[in-house]
Amino acid sequence: LALTTSPLKDKYKENIQKAVDFALKFLKSDGSVRDERGHTIYKTSLLLSTLARFDRKRYKKEIEAMKNYLLKAQYWDPKVAEDVKNGGWGYDEKRNRARADLSNTVFAAEALRDAGVPKDHPVWKRLQVFVTRSQNRTESNKCVTKIKEGKFAGKTWRPGNDGGFIYGPGLTRSDAPPIQNPDGSITFPSYGSMTYAGLLTMVYAFVSKNDARVIAAWNWCQKNWTLEENPGISEKKYAGAGDKGLYYYYMTLAKALYWFGQPYLTTPDGKKHNWAVELVERLSGLQKEGGFWKNRNPKWYEDKEPIATAYAVQALSYAYKFLQKQGK
């Protein structure tokens, strides 16, 4: 997927073809891409996006099968309107970890947009339900739920009002402590990677840029702009704590800001930041001598060179395309 996003895609056609041939071995008759290790929604979404960008005509049948699988795998039960999974995707459909999260969801949404699912398809309105419930904005998010996993299991979660996003309703992957509310419930503070995932998901779901939910997310991004860490991911004080999910953050930030279309973010000190220029400079400084990237924080496998490098290449590709549009 990283190479199909790159402006050097044609140069590496043979490499992409080898990867595609390998991945297609795991495509099942139901349109899912799976093996015994799980992560079916991620894998299906990634291969669907790759084929749609690489050779849509040649792989039309496979694209259609994976698209239909993802459409069916979206959680949606109109009989249980309060189900916090509604509108989202999880790791392995209904078979394992039966919950939806914003990370699986943004990859599925991207794949369905790449596959050309039209604006009037019900998948997008359903998606808006889930992404709205993942935002810390009580004016639009009335969701209150019991937390089902982790150290806060059993507690009641309700959204806050910082405008950013978390991993899902009642879900976080940040180490930052929750906000204790007067009624005994807790609120998880927003953090960078999921706020950009939320903004990107709303763009994919055809939510207007003038929508109050989008504006709130954009304001969070401006207020918390940084490329030094994944903001809000941790309040622990060890070296590299803020690097948790850093390259995923860079990739998601670049995609979200590319599609959002604004070249500058204005921070509370009044300074304007050209996100694409600053991102290219930051990633250039982090690149290792051998041409790869590697996170010092091992969380989510970002200490593995192929993972961090794939994220970095996508981030650079979107920044490059954005600068091209600006004539730079």
Give a yes or no: residue 317 inside a domain.
Answer: yes
Helix (H, G, I), strand (E, B) or coil at 187: strand
Identify the pLDDT of residue 237: 79
Give a yes or no: residue 315 inside a domain.
Answer: yes
Give a yes or no: residue 280 inside a domain.
Answer: yes
Average pLDDT, integer, range 273-299 = 98
Give a yes or no: residue 70 inside a domain.
Answer: no
Identify the pLDDT of residue 96: 52
Q: Does the structure show a pLDDT above 90 at 283? A: yes
Identify the pLDDT of residue 149: 87
Identify the pLDDT of residue 236: 83
CA distances, 315 to each of 4, 65, 97, 110 (Å): 13, 28, 29, 15
The one-letter amino acid at 263: P
Q: Are 4 and 53 in contact (CB under 8 A)?
A: yes
Give all strands (DSSP E) within 218-267, no chain letters.
264-266
- pLDDT tens profile 193-203: 999 999 999 99
DSSP H or E segment with residue 95: none
Proportion of the chain above pLDDT 90, given as a percent: 90
Pick from 47, 93, 90: which is nearest to 66 by CA?
47
Q: Are 227 and 278 in contact (CB under 8 A)?
A: yes
Q: What's 36's DSSP letter? A: T
In angstroms, rounded to a whole number, what is the distance separating the alpha carbons of residues 109 and 91? 14
Average pLDDT, integer, range 122-150 = 97
The count of domains in the chain is 1
Identify the pLDDT of residue 121: 99
Give a yes or no: residue 292 inside a domain.
Answer: yes
Burial of residue 321 (CB within 10 Å: 0-12, 13-18, 19+) is middle
- pLDDT tens profile 15-60: 999 999 999 999 999 999 999 888 999 999 999 999 999 999 999 9
Give a yes or no: residue 308 inside a domain.
Answer: yes
Residue 83's pLDDT band, with cuts at 50, 70 and 90, is very high
Question: Strands 264-266 and 186-187: what pairing?
Answer: unpaired
- pLDDT tens profile 103-119: 999 999 999 999 999 99
Strand partners, 201: none
pTM, entire model: 0.96
DSSP H or E segment with residue 5: helix 2-5
In angstroms, rounded to a whole number, what is the distance separating the alpha carbons of residues 201 and 44? 17
Measured in whole angstroms, the distance separating CA 323 from the mean position of its chain's CA atoms is: 22
Mean pLDDT, the chain, as a whole number? 96
Identify the pLDDT of residue 1: 87
The overall longest dimension of the chain from CA atoms, in Å, is 59
Give a yes or no: residue 61 inside a domain.
Answer: no
Q: Does the structure show a pLDDT above 70 at 94? A: no
Residue 260: give the domain boundaries: 236-327
Give a yes or no: residue 122 inside a domain.
Answer: no
